[in-house]
């Protein structure tokens, strides 16, 4: 696994914040970036989460070792591959 990581500045539409996670010295938001309406409940839409992203709270990913990069990727893959639903 390569330890190189490039940070890119992009603009995302965010449909919700799933939570936060702190890995070493950096806190990340886990945000919903894509959704699909799958039904309604009492007139309110129910959405399936189609994609999520980790976003560093300070805007900069500062991982100091290859092991930290591996840990981040492991956690990210585990959280982003589960199926989730939400209502607004």
For the stretch 12-30, pLDDT in tens is 899 998 888 877 777 888 8
* Cβ neighbours around 47 below 10 Å, total: 19
Banded model confidence at residue 1, pLDDT cuts 50, 70, 90:
very low
Q: End-to-end CA distance of the chain: give it in Å, rounded.
A: 39
Domain extents in the chain? 16-87
Q: How many CA atoms lie within 13 A of 31 on its CB side?
A: 15
Q: What is the mean pLDDT of residues 24-38?
A: 86
Quote the pLDDT of residue 79: 63
pLDDT tens, position by position, 53-66: 888 776 555 555 66
| Residues 66 and 72 sit within 8 Å (Cβ to Cβ) | no
pTM: 0.62
Q: Which helix (H) or strand (E) holds 30?
A: strand 26-41
Rounded CA-CA distance 85/69 in Å is 29
């Amino acid at each position: 696994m390569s330890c190189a990581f490039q940070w890119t500045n992009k603009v995302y539409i965010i449909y919700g914040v799933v939570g936060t996670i702190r890995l070493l010295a950096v806190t990340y938001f886990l945000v919903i970036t894509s959704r699909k309406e799958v039904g309604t409940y009492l007139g309110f839409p129910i959405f399936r989460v189609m994609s999520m992203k980790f976003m560093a709270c300070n805007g900069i990913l500062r991982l100091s070792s290859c092991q930290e990069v591996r840990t981040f990727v492991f956690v990210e893959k585990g959280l982003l591959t589960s199926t989730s639903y939400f209502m607004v």
